Structure formats: structure tokens, C-alpha cells
Structure 1
Amino acid sequence: MTTAAYQSTLPANAGWLTRTEAWLDHKGKAAWIAAMVLGFIIFWPVGAALLAYMIWSKRMFGKGCNRTARTTSRHTAWSAMKPSGNSAFDAYKADTLQRLQNEQEAFEAFLERLREAKDKTEFDQFMEDREKRAAEMAKDTEAA
């Protein structure tokens, strides 16, 4: 992968941290380790921060620093929101996204009604059991 190839996968407004991370990923795990060691030499909290980041992002124990899957998914999600230039496709995409959003809202409303119905059933069952116990206790106290 050339320098231009990994830079083209970054969004246009990527900051210097994102570009640095992409550059280190492009160079591999050895570059991350070298940056961490230099961080410890220059100012130990920088090295500790890099070590923590490498562990947190699983760069330390992964098979490599290849972030093509993450970059591709981020790039795909970002590019899905911008217009394609084809008005018919953009209209279809907008309609489909609106339909999916409506379906999601309807499904969430259905789940809420389902939870409410379940709660009501459980409460009604609790009240019935309570009434039975109260009736049995009243019968026991009359018998005694």
C-alpha cells in the first residue's frame, strides 16, 4: 500500500492524530513500538499513553496494525451520507432510509407495547395471587 493509498482512505478533514495513526499503521507494529519507546525516552507519560492506547485498541496483541477493515467501514458509513450525483438514486436512497427509519420506530413502539403488556400480565398475576392469599388467610382465621 503506497502512501497515497492509505491517505486516500482517510476523510478529507482528518486531523493530525488520525493521519499519524494511519501512518504508524501503514508502517506496522514495529513503528508503534518505536513510537512508544521514543515516547518513554522523551517524556514518560507520552510513552505510557501510547502503551495504553496500543493495549486498548488491541494493536499490541493483534496480528498486525492493519486497519483496513475499520477504515473501510468508517469510510463506507461516511460516504453513504453524501449525495452520489445521481438524483434518481439519491431519491431512492432517501426513500429507503426514511422507510427503514419508520420501520425501526414502529418496531420500537411494538416492543414497548409488548413490554407494557408483559408488565400488566405480571402485575395482574401478582394481584390475583395476593387476593388468593388474603382470602386463604381470612378463611384460616375464621376456622381458628
Structure 2
Amino acid sequence: MTTATAAPLSWLGRAEAWLDNRGKGAWIAAMILGFIAFWPIGLALLAYMIWSKRMFNGSCRKGRQSRHRHYHAAMKSSGNSAFDAYKAETLRRLEEEQEAFEAFLQRLREAKDKQEFDAFMDDRARAAKPTGDDGNATSEPA
């Protein structure tokens, strides 16, 4: 009888691992499909996601930790002083280029926002300007 209970657990374990590999979006999609198919299944998946903390383990936090780890690995000395100097200079230059690019994107967004706002104000001014026709229909003498 242990083989009968082991098979469902391995199936559930494989399903859990499959969803974990695909991320939080897969868990949410499975939960929604569970609600669509039979609402207690969706409710059970939601409860499991909250209980196992899968609902609140943000991928942003993992990404930040990963970048932090990569940064420290990049700054670790290789033992070759010439290479370490080259690496430090290259990283400094890349950081400057990234900052310059982000500043460029910010200026681009501001210019687009200003253009859209100016167009809105021009449209509003045109709509508010009297056209010379006060709406009264006058008949010309015949």
C-alpha cells in the first residue's frame, strides 16, 4: 500500500517542482485554472501558496540579491594586478555609461511628457477660443 501513496506524492512533488521552475506566474495561473475548474481546488492552491510562502517570495528580491552577489564576485581579486586594474577601469566605464544612458532616458521621457502636455494645452486653447460664430442663426434679407 505504500506504493499507492508514494505515487500521488511523487506526482504532486513533480507538479510542485514544475510550477516552481516556471515562477510565481505559473502558480497564479494554476490557481486561476483551479478556480475555473472547481472552486475548492483554486482555494486549496491559494491556501497552499500562502502557507508555503510562495505568494510573497518576490522575484524582485531574488534579482537584487543575485545582482548583489554578482557584483561582489566581479570585485573579487583574481590575483593578477594588471587584469584587476583593467577590470576595475572597465567596470567604472560601464557604470558611467549606464548612468549616462539612464539620464538620457529620463530626458527623453521628460521631453515626451512636455510634448504631450503642450499638445493637450494647445487643443484645450483651440477648443476654448471663440470661433466667431455665436451659434445664432441669422437669415440674410432676400
Q: TM class by shorter-chain length?
A: 0.3 to 0.5
Scaled by the length of structure 2, what TM-score is found? 0.45
Scaled by the length of structure 1, what TM-score is found? 0.45
